[in-house]
Amino acid sequence: MSSQEKYATISPAEFFKRNPELAGFSNPSRALYQTVRELVENALDATDVHGILPSLKTEIALVDEVRQIYRVSVEDNGIGIPPHVIPNAFARVLYSSKYVLRQSRGMYGLGVKAAVLYSQMYQERPLEVVSSPKGSKRLYMFKLKIDVVKNEPIILERRSVENPTGWHGTIVTIHLVGDWIRSKSKILEYIKRTYIITPYAEIVFKDPEGNVYYFERLTNKIPKPPKEVKPHPYGVDIEQIKYMIHQTDGKPMKLKEFLIKEFQHVGEATAEEILNKSGLRAGLEISKLTDADIARLVEALKKLEKLKPPSPEALSVIGEDLIELGLRKSFNPEFVAAVTRKPKAYQGHPFIVEVGIAYGGAITPQPEPVVLRYANKIPLIYDEGSDVMYKVVVKEIDWKRYGIEGDQYPLVVMIHLCSTKVPYKSAGKESVSDVEEIEREIKNAVQEVARKLERYISEKKKEMEAKMKLITYLKYIPEVSQSLATFIANKRDMQSDVYKELKAALTNLVLKRLNLNDVEKLQLDAYKVEEL
Amino acid sequence: MTEFVSKIDKEKRKQAAELLRSHYIKLIEQVKREEPPVLEIPKRTLTNTIYDKERKLLLLGPEKLRRNFLDLNEAKKFMQTVLMASIIYEALVNDEYPTIRDLYYRGKHTLILREPSGKSYEENTWDEQDESDDVIVDIEVYTKLLREEMLILSKEKGKVVGDMRIRSGNDVIDLSKMGHGAYAIEPTPDFIEFLDYNAEFVLVIEKDAVFQQLHRIGFWKQYKAILITSSGQPDRATRRFVRRLNEELKLPVYILTDADPYGWYIYSVFRIGSIQLSHESERLATPDAKFLGVSMTDIFGDRSKKPYLTEQERKNFIIKAKDVDIKRALELKSYEWFKTKAWEKEVSMFLEKKSKLEIEAMASKGLKFLAFNYIPEKIKNNDYIA
């Protein structure tokens, strides 16, 4: 081992600059995609979570053809960002408003900053932010960069102007070296899939080729926003408890009070049980807790028995009707069904699985069902093969059992996993790990909608069979009538009375046999028989 | 046009049209009574084929199938059957002589059903002639009218010569004055009237060429024979003609075929009828017909009989039996009407020797041998299988 080896700490910003692939910025095409994603997700989080119907304007433009520098700009009509928060929110890694326990699209407080870091690695234009918080009379404009060594924002310019129209929201513009050609299909797919799960949003997207895509708002119904909740005892680790203690801002607090105040489902009795199991005193000042104490506390929390499962209030589902709406509008299928399952939990984290299915109609049959994966309303596009949702739909479900015939599937299966903690495989947030409880729940949910599909297909098959019977008879009746009438008229004559009489009588016989209702009988006249 | 048509055609045509009509009027009445129209047709299956030992005939059994238009599985067949019946009826009333091929074309068209949505479903009344031929047979069985009686013509295959006068249509034909040719047996042999004859037996020959040889060498004159060829597998007209000679003129019928299972089956069709057409056996089969040869004992001889062929000739003329021949022989063995002592001996000898022989081989030994030696001797000695 070399004695020359140097040890140094690096800032989180430095760390992500050195390892951009961890956040999904591994090459120019992926970086462009990831930047769009981070900005769109922040824009949506600023709107629907706060009860605002989202209107998004997204634009990608090529500003330097030689260096392949693109400008990505996303405008939302959200709650805006207070001006004093803006520099940290965009230019300090791991600073986030999202360090609370409620479902949101972003989670690591990392995404947009990773985009900014990537942006300034290969070109010189700063990040531009324009924002006006709801109710503010002014518009605030910033030009920012990140001081990578210190993990601090560098404010290059800040201005504010009057906001006479009362507009609120945020416009973020990032320049970066990208690759539109290679990322085009993924970005379009990302926006389409975002729209499917957000049918209450209106989205305009302008691409570098000058195409403008407009996705109209399909409904004014917004899913119930998530509430902030306290952590569940099963769901915390040592670092989180340290963070929770830190958040009390040094106010004196005894351990027992801390447990009762800061955790879900913890009251007098449970708090006593925790203290017993951990061997810690109730009156211990939390600021005095050692790492070893906290470790024992975490152990004790996990050993609690008969605890209610974590509260699902922090979760925000899309709902069966919105899922069906999105699928119907986007795929024009002949059948859709959706299910939102009851909340479940894994390792102290609540989660809900929603599944939608679209079948037939305009869906082009494929060798495998199309799987639309979503986690906390974010579409997951890359790394499909390693995702548990894909695994369940394609590898574990035998679709033939649900009445799908042939080896091509005119089938789209949408899966939405909501959780305060989605178990992603990496910070790129593109695939969900095989957590046993989640996998089982996804399978149950898919099977539940698949049974609805099965009922539909079998009903349709029955209807088709009945219809084919009718069609068979209707096809033959004129021929049979004409042939029999020949024995009376001595020639084939469709004008003869006997022909008409036989045809009517045979039709009546068939109607009686098939037990048609009156509506179906009325439709009969519209069927025409021709001969060639 | 009808002034040149023979009287008998006109009469028969009228009869057939009436009979056909009466059967289908029944269906019309059913429909008018709001009953599902049903065709009751004797089943044409092997299981419903009965060998009548007494009369030595293959007959249709009592089982019937009910072809109901409202039965989805039968609807198409029903449509095809009435369509075909109506075409035949039209041809009858319009003085036409269709062939089964004509009937196939006349009935073949596409039925199109257009849905209110504009989507259309197409289906042909029938695609292959097999389908239309099949319903023709159904109509024969249903009405008990043979196709010939409905003036449906087919290719003439059988030929006849001999000292005999017949009336065909409006003409008298002298079957002894056919020159080197022969009279082609018309598809409607029931319309023929036998006038007078001077003959003692009927000889039916499978092979046309051998028939010609026997004709030109004067065989029928010398032995007072009516000479007939079926040119292979006999058609219905030839079978009916032979049956009438046997039944009405009481002439014994001898049949000469190749010595192989195929030849035996030709004999069997003359004598008993075919499985596919068992409904017509009653009128086409000749239960008295005798298998004159060529038999296995003619070739190999047995304890009581000297073979007609020498060792050297056998060596030259015998053809080794193929697997299909063996298979066919085993099949024939299982038929009820081959379960006689004589036939069992014939078939087992064939299976043992695995040899077959064509009639031409006998002619190769010498036409005179065949005409003046082999045939008359076998008839004289009653050396045949009945």
Quick check: A30 pLDDT over 60?
A: yes
* pLDDT tier at B201, thresholds 50, 70, 90: very high
Q: Which residue blocks in chain B are alpha helix, DSSP H? A: 7-32, 72-93, 100-107, 129-143, 208-216, 219-223, 236-249, 261-271, 281-284, 296-300, 311-317, 323-334, 341-353, 359-364, 367-368, 375-380
- Residue type at A286? I
Query: Using an 8 Å Cβ cutoff, are B295 and B362 in contact?
Result: no
* Of A196-210, A290-304, A329-343, minimum mean pLDDT range: A290-304
Sheet arrangement for strand A202-206: A152-162, A138-147, A127-132, A169-177, A69-76, A55-64, A202-206, A212-215
Distance from the B141 Cα atom to the nearest Cα atom in chain A, whole angstroms: 18
How big is the A-B interface in CB pairs under 8 Å?
Answer: 108
Lookup: tokens for B53: 């030992």
Quick check: A1 pLDDT over 60?
A: no
Nearest to A480 among B21, B78, B116 (CB): B78
What CATH architecture is A12-215? 2-Layer Sandwich (3.30)
Lookup: tokens for B280: 């017509």
Lookup: tokens for B344: 């069992």
Chain B residues within an 8 Å CB radius of A508: 34
Taking the CA atoms of residue A165, residue A170, residue A175 and residue A179 in that order, the dihedral angle to the nearest 10 degrees is: -110
The pLDDT of residue A108: 46
Query: Using an 8 Å Cβ cutoff, are A16 and A113 in contact?
Result: yes
Residue A504 burial (CB count, 10 A): 13
Nearest to A475 among B69, B85, B111 (CB): B111
Can you tell me whether residue B184 is helix, strand or coil?
strand
The pLDDT of residue B53: 79
pLDDT digits (tens, 9 = 90+) for A516-527: 766 666 666 667
The A-side interface with B (CB below 8 A) comprises 469, 471-476, 478-480, 482-488, 490-492, 498, 501-502, 505-506, 508-510, 513, 523, 526-532
Nearest to B34 among A471, A475, A505 (CB): A505
Q: Chain A within 8 Å of B142 (Cβ-Cβ)?
A: no
The whole-angstrom separation of Cα A441 and Cα A343 is 10
The pLDDT of residue B221: 95
Distance from the A361 Cα atom to the nearest Cα atom in chain B, whole angstroms: 16
N- to C-terminal Cα separation, chain B: 48
> Residue A399, CB half-sphere, CA atoms under 13 Å: how many?
23
The whole-angstrom separation of Cα A53 and Cα B294 is 101
Report the pLDDT averaged over residues B143-150.
89
- Mean pLDDT across chain A: 88
Match domain A312-457 to its CATH number in 3.30.230.10, 1.10.10.60, 3.20.20.70, 2.40.50.100.
3.30.230.10
Q: Do A475 and B78 touch (CB under 8 A)?
A: no
Quick check: B25 pLDDT over 90?
A: yes
Residue A150 burial (CB count, 10 A): 12
Query: Using an 8 Å Cβ cutoff, are A432 and A375 in contact?
Result: yes
Q: Do A479 and B116 touch (CB under 8 A)?
A: no
Domains and CATH numbers, chain B: 2-150 (1.10.10.10), 159-380 (3.40.1360.10)
Q: Is the dihedral of CA A255, A261, A264, A266 positive or negative?
A: positive
Lookup: tokens for A21: 């692939």
Query: Using an 8 Å Cβ cutoff, are B281 and B57 in contact?
Result: yes
Task: Give the residue on B whose Cα is nearest the Cα of A475.
Answer: B113
Quick check: A242 pLDDT over 70?
A: yes
Task: Give the residue on A whose Cα is nearest the Cα of B113.
Answer: A529
The pLDDT of residue A349: 87
The whole-angstrom separation of Cα A178 and Cα A37 is 14
The pLDDT of residue A181: 96
Task: Give the residue on A whose Cα is nearest the Cα of B76.
Answer: A476
The pLDDT of residue B333: 86
Residues 34-63 of B with CB under 8 A from A: 34, 36-37
The whole-angstrom separation of Cα A359 and Cα A453 is 8
Chain B residues within an 8 Å CB radius of A469: 72
Lookup: tokens for A262: 């800061």
- Domain coordinates of chain A in residue numbers? 12-215, 233-302, 312-457, 462-524
The pLDDT of residue A527: 72
The H or E element spanning position A292 is helix A291-302
The whole-angstrom separation of Cα A450 and Cα A462 is 18
The pLDDT of residue A530: 67
Q: Which residue blocks in A423-496 are alpha helix, DSSP H? A: 436-489
Phi, psi of B181 (to 5 degrees): -90, -165
Let me know if B308 is a catalytic residue.
no
Q: Do A484 and B112 touch (CB under 8 A)?
A: no
The whole-angstrom separation of Cα A339 and Cα A414 is 10
> Which residues are paired to A530 by β-bridges?
B112
Task: Give the residue on A whose Cα is nearest the Cα of B28.
Answer: A484
CATH class of A233-302: mainly alpha
Distance from the A473 Cα atom to the nearest Cα atom in chain B, whole angstroms: 7
Lookup: tokens for A233: 């005892």
Residue A417 burial (CB count, 10 A): 25
- Decide which of A428 and B204 is more confident: B204
Task: Give the residue on B whose Cα is nearest the Cα of A499.
Answer: B28
Distance from the A195 Cα atom to the nearest Cα atom in chain B, whole angstroms: 33
Q: Do B116 and A526 touch (CB under 8 A)?
A: yes
The whole-angstrom separation of Cα A382 and Cα A33 is 10
Residue A519 burial (CB count, 10 A): 7
Which candidate, A476, A478, A491, A483, places its Cα nearest to that of B83? A483
* pLDDT tier at A60, thresholds 50, 70, 90: very high
Chain B residues within an 8 Å CB radius of A526: 115-116
Distance from the A513 Cα atom to the nearest Cα atom in chain B, whole angstroms: 7
* pLDDT tier at A284, thresholds 50, 70, 90: confident
The pLDDT of residue B183: 96
Quick check: A389 pLDDT over 90?
A: yes
Long-range (24+ apart) CB contacts under 8 A made by B175-182 are B175/B226, B180/B212, B180/B215, B180/B216, B182/B211, B182/B215, B182/B229
pLDDT digits (tens, 9 = 90+) for A99-137: 455 666 764 456 788 899 899 989 999 999 999 999 899
Nearest to A509 among B34, B86, B90 (CB): B34
pLDDT digits (tens, 9 = 90+) for B330-382: 988 888 888 888 899 999 999 998 999 998 888 778 889 999 999 999 999 99
Which candidate, A417, A408, A409, places its Cα nearest to that of A445? A417
N- to C-terminal Cα separation, chain A: 92
Which residue carries 């030839």 as its tokens?
Answer: B238
Q: Chain A within 8 Å of B118 (Cβ-Cβ)?
A: no
Radius of gyration of chain A (CA): 31
Q: Do A505 and B75 touch (CB under 8 A)?
A: no
Report the pLDDT averaged over residues A407-431.
88
Q: Do B86 and A487 touch (CB under 8 A)?
A: yes
Can you tell me whether residue A215 is helix, strand or coil?
strand
Q: Do A509 and B90 touch (CB under 8 A)?
A: no
Nearest to B75 among A472, A482, A491 (CB): A472
Quick check: B147 pLDDT over 50?
A: yes
Query: Using an 8 Å Cβ cutoff, are B228 and B179 in contact?
Result: no
Distance from the A519 Cα atom to the nearest Cα atom in chain B, whole angstroms: 14
Report the pLDDT averaged over residues A352-370.
94
The pLDDT of residue B50: 81
Quick check: A2 pLDDT over 60?
A: no
pLDDT digits (tens, 9 = 90+) for A318-339: 999 999 999 999 999 999 999 9
Report the pLDDT averaged over residues A11-22.
75
Which residues make Cβ contacts (< 8 Å) with residue A471, sequence separation at least 6? A527, B113, B115, B121
Kindly name the residue from B89, B105, B121, B335 that is annotated as catalytic: B105
Which residues make Cβ contacts (< 8 Å) with residue A442, sequence separation at least 6? A353, A355, A388, A389, A392, A415, A417
Taking the CA atoms of residue A478, residue A484, residue A486 and residue A487 in that order, the dihedral angle to the nearest 10 degrees is: -170
Which candidate, B258, B233, B259, B261, places its Cα nearest to that of B329? B261
The pLDDT of residue B164: 96
Chain B residues within an 8 Å CB radius of A531: 109-112
Report the pLDDT averaged over residues B179-190.
93
* Of A80-89, A181-190, A422-431, B307-316, minimum mean pLDDT range: A422-431
Chain A residues within an 8 Å CB radius of B24: 484, 487
Task: Give the residue on A whose Cα is nearest the Cα of B111.
Answer: A531
Q: Do B86 and A526 touch (CB under 8 A)?
A: no
ipTM of the complex: 0.79
Quick check: A156 pLDDT over 90?
A: yes
